[in-house]
Each structure stands twice: as C-alpha cells, then as structure tokens.
C-alpha cells in the first residue's frame, strides 16, 4: 500500500481556492487513495493558516471526522529523532512539522509526501534516501 503523508502547504492549497496551487492540489487528490496521513504539527500550522478562510476550519474538521485524513504520529515517542533531524537541517531551517513528516517517511518506507515545500527535495530519510514526493514541477 502506498501511503501519502500530507504537508501543510498542500493541504492549504487543497482547501483555499485563492491559493496558487489550488487546481493542482485538487487534481492530485483525485488520484490519491485516502486516507491522507498527517500529524498534529501539520494540523496546528494548517488551522492557523486557514483561520481567516471561510469554511477552512470546518473543512479540516470534516476531513478528519470522515476519515479522509488521519493523524498517525506520536511526537512523544519520536521526539529524539525529530529534534535530531531539525538539528541536521538547521541551515534550511526545518520546521517541527517538516521534521515530523521526514520521520513519518522513515517509519513508512512505502510513503510519499504531498507537499509544496521545496525543502523536501533537500531532506533525506534515513540520512541518505531521497524522499518520494507529490509536488508541482515548478
């Protein structure tokens, strides 16, 4: 099974019609088998960024309630590795959400990350493996 891990920017683009990559995100979601898997750090960023978007928070709630998106990561259990990743990539800098997603991709080797963030082209899982991405070409 190919798991798709969702990053903040891609989810914002999916839910906010004003976003530059909205059409791209909608097109991608049509080909992705649910659920999208994410973490609390992404959810926190997402809720903040959508706080002034009509129906934004309601859409987040609805996607979680329907099972289209699931939260499946324990920062408590993985904090040492996530913080180590953030230190390694401090020159980027790596956000907590990014660190969680890279760690999630290490734990799920069959995963791809749905993202707009170009930093994921630099990040590596397990120190040297390229992370498979679903990202716009531009």
Q: Mind listing the pLDDT tens digit for each residue in 8-31?
A: 999 999 999 999 999 999 999 999
The pLDDT value recorded for residue 118 is 94
Q: What is the total count of domains within the chain?
A: 1
Report the Cα–Cα distance between both ends of the chain, in Å, rounded.
Answer: 28
Which residues of the chain carry a pLDDT beneath 50?
A: none
The pLDDT value recorded for residue 74 is 97
Q: Which domain holds residue 130?
A: 4-134
Tokens, residue 83: 């913080």
CATH of the domain at 85: 3.40.50.1010
In this structure, the number of other CB atoms found within 10 A of the CB of residue 98 comes to: 26
Concatenating the DSSP letter of every residue in 71-137 gives E---HHHHHHHHHHHHHHTTTSPPPHHHHHHHHHHHH-TT-EEE---GGGGT-EETTTEEPPEE---
CA angle 67, 70, 74 (to 5 degrees): 155
């Amino acid at each position: 099974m190919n798991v798709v891990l969702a990053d903040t920017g891609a989810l914002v683009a999916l839910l906010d019609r004003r976003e530059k990559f909205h059409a791209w995100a909608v097109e991608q979601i049509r080909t992705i088998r649910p659920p999208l898997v994410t973490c609390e750090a992404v959810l926190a960023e997402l809720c903040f960024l959508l706080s002034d978007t009509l129906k934004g928070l309601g859409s987040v709630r609805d996607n979680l309630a329907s099972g289209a998106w699931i939260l499946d990561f324990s920062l408590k259990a993985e904090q040492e590795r996530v913080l180590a990743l953030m230190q390694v990539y401090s020159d980027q800098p790596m956000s907590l959400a990014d660190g969680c997603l890279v760690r999630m991709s290490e734990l799920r080797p069959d995963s791809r990350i749905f993202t707009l963030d170009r930093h994921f082209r630099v990040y590596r899982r397990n120190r040297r493996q390229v992370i498979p991405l679903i990202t716009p070409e531009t």
